[in-house]
Chains A and B, each alone.
Chain A
């Protein structure tokens, strides 16, 4: 039996800043995104969306639309294919005239051009019976319920010891409520699909985070075998979670294509359509209570989260999850309660759970440090757990303290005056803040990799993974090269299609772990086979296929990455405008496979965290149930001018338990904690504690 250390890959290509293998294609515009794939005589779909938040379409008059020249078919629940019932209320569209949320698909027009489709869709007249809708999340609702589990399969509630008792007798306590607003994923490439039926089989060129995830969701709806649905997605212009589980747009495209068999139907969503059909991050209300002794040792931590889900399908964001791992305290409790609303279905958005869940508690830690008279770094260090607080498992590696210390050194934290509201630069109040980052190490089951060596000295590596812009093409090539002990130039990677071996999707920062591990396993088998051939490749080639190896350490260790984020924030004393001239993130996430794309992931995560702190907020109009600021003019995402100096670095973290690469996953880590660090710095600048995101100027003029 080999030890964990022995089974670790020797890094050669791994860790280098290899430039993106698909970089030239991307910057020259030749990398095909979903609807850019060349197809013969495509038809175009424009959707019909519900104009009410709840009720029933009692009549849909499609006659004018059908009469438009160039219209090929009009799709409504009257002629839509019957879908098998899979229990997914989000995807089972057009099975009746029922409307569960505003903007829900009621049909669509398929036409020769997108313009004709759009115009004809506009000519459809829908009569509704309206029911009273309910779209407002409040913590004091009397109908909050406890979901069976939270995403993806965590306990809804946890408790240890006697938190209430410990709080009652604690020397120092904090009791505060924090909130984050509804937020929408806005990848550059909108959700987009080309659907085509031939001989009863479906081909989807889809912008997806998982070709096999899309296949698995779509095939049963249309009562097809998995293999009868082919999904192709070599390049994806961002997803952030919103392209993980397929949304109704994929189903609508497939339904529409059914009406014009043999013709590919193109369906790229508009930015505005995205705001009602591809999910969002639930607003969260986070009630935090902390209790500590005089020395600043936490005796109790509780976090009770209230958030929303949709009546058409449940999604329970796991907001309290990081609190179960971050800090030691003998008495602790976490809970999630949901309001089921007549809204679109919430979904994954970069670091679901950890991202909102590292806001409230990390601001609370700052408040508590002050209450205990301690520096916020020292306070965190004092409450560093020996083992995972809830499971009791040892950590496979945990370098939060090292990140905090290294960050403090680099940021110049040591001579920080903790008093708030005392530093001025002209009319600007200046402050600094810190918060921790964390993200779990997820490994998805089920991936397989095939590697084939040929006598020309090349290695074909095939796996149905995807690259959503993160650099998968490059990073998997590096892993394969090191596992095969060849140079990256000898490896031909193929990903992005269900014609390749099964693979999990890009989600939960698990891609490198879940795809890299079977690639390493297949490479090792292949090398053993090559050895049997005396090290030379026979004329017919040599092939090896391996699945995701079982990792015995998963049940023995708690596996998480950590980080520390530092922010300098200026708040205008007169107008409350907030500016962030400096952010520094130091992370410990195992081995970083590609120093360039890895850095980009962390930079991007922090930028998105900055955007969350300062700008992002979907404003839902309770009267109509739709998001008012449903485009990029009004849903603000940080621009270049909002990002000052942004520095990212990582510690050399050695973790032989997570996987043979020693890597932990970095796609989501960077967004966790950023908003808290900025909020804490804004407090340090002004003395005003804002507990609701985003940090709009008016909140500093109380």
Chain B
């Protein structure tokens, strides 16, 4: 096995162009497990950890650009206040050791339906910046996932960053697992309020072959809130609205039975998580319409 160690992003892209079958490795928390279990036998590994710029973040034009190689621990510490939904999700990933190594770029490229980073990115309308020697593209995150553990990267492309707007309203994330830590999610749900656009964003995990948005639920709730003038003068939500939102989220899912849980349970739990997180974000919005979320609460 070859081990390629580029020290600049340019070199990494060149290496990937020359070795399209090379497996990129960032934190290695997925790659090393797959190699160990013989699920993957790379002919060469392309180590991205020597590229400092990949593990950094910056701000341009009102958006945050998070380098694909930024570990969860730094994402939580340095961006948690501005990306509360993503930070809550990141805190549920693995253990401290895994959060020290694991990255959002790796989470995206693994494209697991259960990746905890994905639902908050969907709820916030994030974009994935992918790059090759041929150039750069920006993909809406929902277009990035094409199937179970499949994504839209061409063989010479690498993920360079994620672009995401800082929260303008409350955000939440909820995860159900069969134990309290170190667990592959039974299902997850993320919600983000975007008062400036009068929109609600959602993201569902472990609910279908790919992470997905509950678009009907988003349309319904955004419409309800706008029609009743709630963005400007928020009131407690009608139970019927909350219930309908939960039902629409559950309906968006097409889960399966597996060793972790059943399709029925997942569908039920998604509805619960949708209602629960909507309750949280809406309470927060009513109490502090301008704040950015409740990062303390998972």
Tell me, yes or no, whether A417 is within 8 Å of chain B by CB.
Answer: no
Pick the residue among A575, A638, A642 that contacts B269 (CB under 8 A): A575
Chain A residues near B261 (CB-CB < 8 A): 696-698
Name the interface size band of chain A. 20 to 34
* Contact across chains for A701 and B268 when beta carbons are under 8 A apart: yes
Q: Is the interface of A mostly helix, strand, loop or mixed?
A: loop
* Contact across chains for A697 and B178 when beta carbons are under 8 A apart: yes
Q: How far is the CB of A200 from chain B (nearest CB, A)?
A: 37
Chain B residues near A633 (CB-CB < 8 A): 33, 182, 184
| Contacts across chains A and B counted by CB atoms under 8 Å | 56
Q: How far is the CB of A162 from chain B (nearest CB, A)?
A: 44
A697 with B181: in contact, given A574-B272, A619-B259, A628-B259 (CB under 8 Å)?
no
The chain A residue with its CB closest to the CB of B271 is A574
Chain B residues near A575 (CB-CB < 8 A): 176, 268-269, 272-273
Chain B residues near A629 (CB-CB < 8 A): 259
Tell me, yes or no, whether A615 is within 8 Å of chain B by CB.
Answer: yes
Bound complex: CA A576 to CA B176 (Å): 10
Bound complex: CA A634 to CA B258 (Å): 11
Tell me, yes or no, whether B208 is within 8 Å of chain A by CB.
Answer: no
Q: How far is the CB of B47 from chain A (nearest CB, A)?
A: 19
Q: Which of A44-65 contact B (CB under 8 A)?
A: none
Q: How far is the CB of A537 from chain B (nearest CB, A)?
A: 53
Tell me, yes or no, whether B276 is within 8 Å of chain A by CB.
Answer: yes
* Contact across chains for A697 and B179 when beta carbons are under 8 A apart: no
Tell me, yes or no, whether A577 is within 8 Å of chain B by CB.
Answer: yes
Tell me, yes or no, whether A539 is within 8 Å of chain B by CB.
Answer: no
Bound complex: CA A698 to CA B178 (Å): 10
C-beta contact mask, B243-259 vs A, less than 8 Å → 1, else 0? Answer: 00000000000000001
A642 with B184: in contact, given A575-B272, A629-B259 (CB under 8 Å)?
no
A272 with B37: in contact, given A697-B176, A701-B265 (CB under 8 Å)?
yes
The chain B residue with its CB closest to the CB of A633 is B184
Chain A residues near B186 (CB-CB < 8 A): 697
Chain A residues near B183 (CB-CB < 8 A): 636
A696 with B259: in contact, given A574-B272, A575-B269, A701-B268 (CB under 8 Å)?
no
* Contact across chains for A639 and B268 when beta carbons are under 8 A apart: no
Chain B residues near A86 (CB-CB < 8 A): none
Tell me, yes or no, whether B264 is within 8 Å of chain A by CB.
Answer: yes
Tell me, yes or no, whether A589 is within 8 Å of chain B by CB.
Answer: no
Bound complex: CA A662 to CA B196 (Å): 74
Tell me, yes or no, whether B97 is within 8 Å of chain A by CB.
Answer: no
The chain A residue with its CB closest to the CB of B262 is A698
Chain A residues near B268 (CB-CB < 8 A): 575, 701
Tell me, yes or no, whether A640 is within 8 Å of chain B by CB.
Answer: yes
Q: How far is the CB of B256 from chain A (nearest CB, A)?
A: 14
Chain A residues near B240 (CB-CB < 8 A): none
Q: Which of A565-586 contact B (CB under 8 A)?
A: 574-577, 579
* Contact across chains for B37 and A642 when beta carbons are under 8 A apart: no
Bound complex: CA A636 to CA B177 (Å): 11
Most buried by A among B37, B179, B265, B269: B179
Tell me, yes or no, whether B180 is within 8 Å of chain A by CB.
Answer: yes
Chain A residues near B276 (CB-CB < 8 A): 427, 574
Q: Which of A644-702 contact B (CB under 8 A)?
A: 696-698, 701
Q: How far is the CB of B116 from chain A (nearest CB, A)?
A: 14
Chain A residues near B180 (CB-CB < 8 A): 579, 639, 641-642
Tell me, yes or no, whether A614 is within 8 Å of chain B by CB.
Answer: yes
Bound complex: CA A631 to CA B38 (Å): 14
Chain A residues near B269 (CB-CB < 8 A): 575, 697
C-beta contact mask, B13-40 vs A, less than 8 Å → 1, else 0? Answer: 0000000000000000000010001100
Bound complex: CA A619 to CA B261 (Å): 12
The chain A residue with its CB closest to the CB of B186 is A697
Q: How far is the CB of B180 from chain A (nearest CB, A)?
A: 4
Q: How far is the CB of B198 from chain A (nearest CB, A)?
A: 29
Chain A residues near B179 (CB-CB < 8 A): 614-615, 636, 638-639, 641-642
C-beta contact mask, B153-190 vs A, less than 8 Å → 1, else 0? Answer: 00000000000000000000000101111111010000
Q: How far is the CB of A284 from chain B (nearest CB, A)?
A: 20
Pick the residue among A574, A615, A640 that contacts B178 (CB under 8 A): A615
The chain B residue with its CB closest to the CB of A614 is B179
Bound complex: CA A57 to CA B272 (Å): 51
The chain A residue with its CB closest to the CB of B180 is A641
Bound complex: CA A605 to CA B272 (Å): 35
Q: How far is the CB of A690 from chain B (nearest CB, A)?
A: 14
Q: How far is the CB of A123 from chain B (nearest CB, A)?
A: 13
Q: How far is the CB of B31 from chain A (nearest CB, A)?
A: 15
Bound complex: CA A199 to CA B290 (Å): 82
* Contact across chains for B176 and A641 when beta carbons are under 8 A apart: no
Bound complex: CA A579 to CA B264 (Å): 21
* Contact across chains for B178 and A636 when beta carbons are under 8 A apart: yes
* Contact across chains for A634 and B181 when beta carbons are under 8 A apart: no
* Contact across chains for A639 and B181 when beta carbons are under 8 A apart: yes
The chain B residue with its CB closest to the CB of A621 is B259
Bound complex: CA A122 to CA B38 (Å): 10
Q: How far is the CB of A602 from chain B (nearest CB, A)?
A: 22
* Contact across chains for B176 and A577 when beta carbons are under 8 A apart: yes
Which B residues have a C-beta under 8 Å from some C-beta of A? 33, 37-38, 176, 178-184, 186, 259-262, 264-265, 268-269, 272-273, 276
5 intermolecular pairs with C-beta atoms under 8 Å apart: A574-B272, A575-B269, A579-B180, A614-B179, A698-B261
